[in-house]
């Protein structure tokens, strides 16, 4: 029985390691500035380790700054969490639609994702597909604080794919997570 348990554990360890081997990528190509494209490729485990190094007083200060920003628009962190619970618990819906001469985009909840996208007539093409459980994890911190480590761990559970792509005539920005350490 011990041998069977050891074999199962031995088989499970590489799977766990593979799940933790997720990479966060950002690529910016800004032809308007004449600069070279910039790429950042970081393992999510490194980002989570770096977040854990943030001193407690800085973490509290970030939470206070968020609360100040929220106060400026007229609501508290607790109200933000309540609003998020309402959005999260509701069905799929379009929350924001912008239609003007330069922009045509929607912000909506679709399945397990927050989606923001534009149509072909927009000067700027936007395609955002962000997992809702990552926002749940971020807002799950104790004492109203943001839990960045929980958000990163939750992000690691999602399939490969773009989270953010924004393009205009001269600039492309792409953010994604996958299992590769290069683009």
DSSP assignment of 35-82: PPPEEEEEEHHHHHHHHHTS-HHHHHHHHHHHHHHHHHTT--HHHHHH
Residue 177's DSSP bridge partners are 24, 161
Nearest C-alpha neighbor of 44 from the set 28, 22, 12: 22
Which parts of the chain have pLDDT scores under 50? 1-19
How many alpha carbons lie under 13 Å from residue 163 in its C-beta half-sphere? 19
Residue 166's DSSP bridge partners are 126, 173
Task: Report the pLDDT value the prediction gives residue 21, as an integer from 0 to 100.
Answer: 84
Task: Report the pLDDT value the prediction gives residue 158, as an integer from 0 to 100.
Answer: 84
Task: Report the pLDDT value the prediction gives residue 2, as an integer from 0 to 100.
Answer: 35
Task: Report the pLDDT value the prediction gives residue 76, as an integer from 0 to 100.
Answer: 75
Residues 6+ apart with CB under 8 A from 155: 22, 24, 44, 131, 134, 177
Task: Report the pLDDT value the prediction gives residue 27, as an integer from 0 to 100.
Answer: 94
Task: Report the pLDDT value the prediction gives residue 20, as an integer from 0 to 100.
Answer: 58
Task: Report the pLDDT value the prediction gives residue 100, as an integer from 0 to 100.
Answer: 82
Task: Report the pLDDT value the prediction gives residue 177, as an integer from 0 to 100.
Answer: 93
Do residues 127 and 164 make contact, with C-beta atoms less than 8 angstroms apart? yes
Global pTM value:
0.74
Nearest C-alpha neighbor of 142 from the set 90, 81, 84: 81
């Amino acid at each position: 029985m011990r041998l069977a348990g050891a074999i199962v554990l031995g088989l499970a360890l590489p799977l766990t390691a593979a799940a933790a081997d997720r990479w966060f990528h950002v690529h910016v190509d800004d032809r308007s500035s004449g600069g070279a494209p910039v790429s950042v490729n970081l393992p999510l485990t490194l980002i989570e380790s770096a977040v854990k190094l943030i001193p407690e007083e800085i973490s509290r200060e970030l939470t206070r700054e968020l609360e100040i920003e929220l106060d400026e628009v007229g609501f508290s962190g607790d109200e933000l969490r309540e609003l998020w619970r309402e959005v999260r618990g509701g069905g799929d819906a379009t929350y924001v639609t912008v239609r003007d001469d330069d922009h045509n985009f929607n912000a909506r909840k679709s399945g397990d994702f927050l989606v923001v996208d534009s149509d072909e007539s927009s000067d700027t093409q936007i395609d955002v597909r962000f997992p809702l459980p990552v926002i749940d994890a971020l807002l799950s911190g104790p004492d109203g604080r943001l839990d960045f480590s929980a958000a990163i761990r939750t992000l690691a559970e999602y399939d490969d794919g773009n989270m953010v792509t924004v393009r205009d005539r001269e600039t492309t920005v792409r953010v994604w997570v996958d299992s590769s350490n290069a683009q």
